Chain A
Amino acid sequence: GESVGLHLPTLSVQEGDNSIINCAYSNSASDYFIWYKQESGKGPQFIIDIRSNMDKRQGQRVTVLLNKTVKHLSLQIAATQPGDSAVYFCAAVNTDKLIFGTGTRLQVFP
């Protein structure tokens, strides 16, 4: 079946550094991708999305890059802050289904 996977279960970065979280997906028919942030005890929170006809999209301090050739997307967080500590999920949409990855825990240390 189709899958979405994140490359690293845990990522530790120093406050102020840039963070990059990577994700791979298996279904080339996926046409919409979303990054979510989930803090402990809360539901996932939308961060940024990108459609398959784009290769880059920027938000406030975040950038998503999509490489359809290798079925890979990444989330870049600039100037990482302690408040960015959470689990990050990528998710891929194929027609009427949304498939989440397993998540990467981002730890920010001073």
Chain B
Amino acid sequence: ETGVTQSPTHLIKTRGQQVTLRCSSQSGHNTVSWYQQALGQGPQFIFQYYREEENGRGNFPPRFSGLQFPNYSSELNVNALELDDSALYLCASSQTGFVEQFFGPGTRLTVL
């Protein structure tokens, strides 16, 4: 059984650019959630995907968007990057909603 994997590990972008982060869910999990974790803070819920449909969203602007694919892997896209988007982006997968989510190691995004 493979765990949750994320790519890339680190990424540096400049303000105004666009970025795509990727997540492979744990085997048997059909739900993927994305979180943003600023340094020293708790993760903030961005959105959740269940069977390729968005299933809940936190307080993030529309420039944060996502996709889930038929194999349940997922992408997080952020357009028009801002300096405050610098953070650790975490992906988590589960069989049902937020129950027993397994987190990936995260992607560290730096916006200059």
Contact = CB atoms under 8 A, between A and B. Distances in A.
Contacts of B42: 4, 89, 91, 100-103
Nearest to B99: A49
Interface string A72-109: 00000000000000000101010111111111000000
Interface size on A, as a range, is 20 to 34
B100 A43 contact: no
Nearest to A90: B42
A44 B55 contact: no
A43 B91 CA distance: 9
Contacts of A96: 48, 55-57
A44 B56 contact: no
A46 B45 contact: no
Given A98-B45, A100-B44, A93 B105 contact: no
Contacts of B64: none
Interface of B: 4, 33, 35, 41-45, 48, 55-59, 90, 92, 97-106
